[in-house]
Amino acid sequence: MNANPADNRPNLADLVRDLTGVGRAESDEAPLPRTAPAGVELALEDLISDDNGEIVFFNDGGFRTLSIETDAQVVASGQATSHRTSAGEDVSGFNYVTFENGVTLYFDDGLDLLLPDS
């Protein structure tokens, strides 16, 4: 039995796959789409960060855009050099944005991040 309930939570990629159908097996009811969906929309407040306020979005679904809804302003952005999150994820080379609330979102290079107009 797993003693850590957090280990039983589905990861973000699995949730997106369930919602969009991207990556379903051929035996599932819906057929696989021929192309990846254009994007995904998420609210920053719904995402769970690690102990350092870091969130990693792995683009396993092949999305072209990631839209983040938030009222928090971006205070820093760039590309991570050598960095591992407190959760143990290696985000070296990932793009990132840090918001005024202390949350840093890491995402794959090649994924366009859309934020609300300031």
Q: What angle do CA 56, 61, 64 make, to 5 degrees?
A: 85
- Of the chain, the end-to-end C-alpha distance in Å amounts to 47
Q: Percent helix, strand, coil in the chain (nearest 5)?
A: 15, 30, 60
**Beta bridge partner(s), residue 57:** 107
pTM greater than 0.75 (yes/no): no
Which pLDDT value is given to residue 115? 93
pLDDT in tens, 11-57: 666 655 665 555 555 445 555 554 556 789 999 999 999 999 999 99
